[in-house]
Amino acid sequence: MAKVKQQQPNIIKRPPIVVVMGHIDHGKSTLLDTIRKSNVVDGEAGGITQHLSAYVVPHTTSEGTTADITFLDTPGHEAFQQMRLRGADVADVAILVVSAEDGVKPQTLEALESIKAAGIPYIVAINKIDKPGADIARTQSSLIEHEIYIEGMGGDIPWTAISAKAGTGINELLDLVVLTADLAELTADTNAPASGTIIEAKLDPKRGNTATLIITNGTLRTGTHVVSGKSHSPVRIMEDFTGKSIKEASFSEPVGIVGFNDIPKVGDTFVAVDSKKEAERLVEEDATAPVVEKFAGGGLPVIPILIKADVSGTIDAIIHELNKFKSDRIAVRVIDTGVGDITATDVQNVSATDEAIIVGFNVKVERPAADLAERLEVEIDTFSIIYELSEWLETALKNRTPKKEEKQVTGKVKVLKEFSVQKHTHVLGGRVEEGVAKMNQSVRILRRDIEIGTGVIKNLQQQKSNVQEVSEGEFGMQLDTRADVAAGDYLEAYDLVIT
């Protein structure tokens, strides 16, 4: 372990870190927007929050005390499951938002599972009570039906009714957050070296590799170094959640750090050390850890994909979408991932891999990259809304899945008599046992349920007239086959279907 300056512990009360979770359109972003009195909702593509961010708000309780609360904003779309799980893992308290119009929805339950897995207390906020279709009693019943036992309804889970849009009930909700945090007795040591979690990371075109950190213990100061996995950075440029430059930050505070040697992995923990030498030693120790294999294949044909995104958390979301694609004929292989715009180097790197696709999310395609991709016939697809990416992935993967011929049985006939054989043409009398037999269909010839050969129907007659198909009764046929056909055999007629 790295040596750090040790001081006498100074354990004090710690502000809560709160995650707001719930169904995609139940008002999470509006609630956070109302709480922090800014407007990020309008700026999100498609109206969906897509990056995890954090900010601190001071709240004066009904008793007159003031407390800081740190809020995490986790994306709500189903694809961002990993980012939501990360938020629940970092947080101390969760707010589960449920619409008074819709009640409990699938993502409500998914969010609840994340909260339970993290083992943190939560508060239910019944939102949109200002809407004409709002029904608090019905929503309460919906909660109970899904075993969310709120106070006053046979349980002990705190809840309150709010309108995030109108601001109704927000103070009461924040009072509940402070009370819940007090009951959890959150503490930390101001004198400890800072530690916490990376909650976002990206390549800033102007500033380089940057990351957002949530400090969960200790104090982070300029002049030290932070280490996370294989990444490290001097703490020279440190900013609070408003973008203001600061010299130190303590627990429950989100901070931005600029200057990482490599983009850290979102969800990884970090520690502060005194020197670059110590930081590099920790990185070297981490380099010996096992590398997780991210390629799929298993002997199947593969679709190679390179993923580029604006932030590393979004890469998790895209991989989550890819993992939902299941096939016994083809596999997805993520050949590389990266943060930042799509470059000519990216195109060059994948050009040697047959049928490789570059998928970009919230990134641009540099002009040299676009020109090279056209010349080398490399497919590039970019998106800014996750559900559009999801729909494209589903279509693209299905289109690239190898087609398979399947025999679709249409009918079964019994051979009653063989009238003549000339070369490989057999003139037969038969009876339809089930289904239909058609001109030019292939057949399997079965004797005691064992296949003895195959053939093709060349002519069908019923009541001395040529017909295209037979579906009942007796008939005559010409069958082309090399097999020896006898009375009592069965012919199983089938079509070849491409799937």
Report pTM.
0.60
| Nearest C-alpha neighbor of 215 from the set 235, 246, 188 | 188
Q: What is d(CA 231, CA 237) in angstroms, rounded to the nearest whole number?
A: 16
pLDDT at position 414: 96
Q: Are residues 329 and 362 in the same domain?
A: yes
Kindly give the residue spans of alpha helices, DSSP state H, lying in 269-378.
276-287, 312-323, 344-351, 367-376
pLDDT at position 149: 94
Q: Are residues 386 and 454 in the same domain?
A: no
In a domain, 104, yes or no: yes
In a domain, 224, yes or no: yes
Give the chain's residues under pLDDT 70: 1-7, 38-52, 73-89, 286-300, 499
In a domain, 181, yes or no: yes
Q: Which domain holds residue 491?
A: 405-498
Domain boundary among 369, 400, 431: 400
Angle between helices 81-90 and 106-118 (to 10 degrees): 40
Q: Are residues 119 and 47 in the same domain?
A: yes
Q: What is d(CA 211, CA 119) in angstroms, rounded to the nearest whole number?
A: 26
Quickly list DSSP for 241-274: TTS-B-SEEETT-EEEEE--SSPPPTT-EEEEES
> What CATH number does residue 331 fall under?
3.40.50.10050
> What CATH number does residue 440 fall under?
2.40.30.10
pLDDT at position 459: 95
Q: How many domains does the chain have?
A: 4
Residues 157 and 122: beta-carbon distance below 8 Å: yes
Domain boundary among 350, 374, 400: 400
Provide the residue type at 84 as one letter. Answer: R
pLDDT at position 290: 40
pLDDT at position 289: 45
pLDDT at position 137: 95
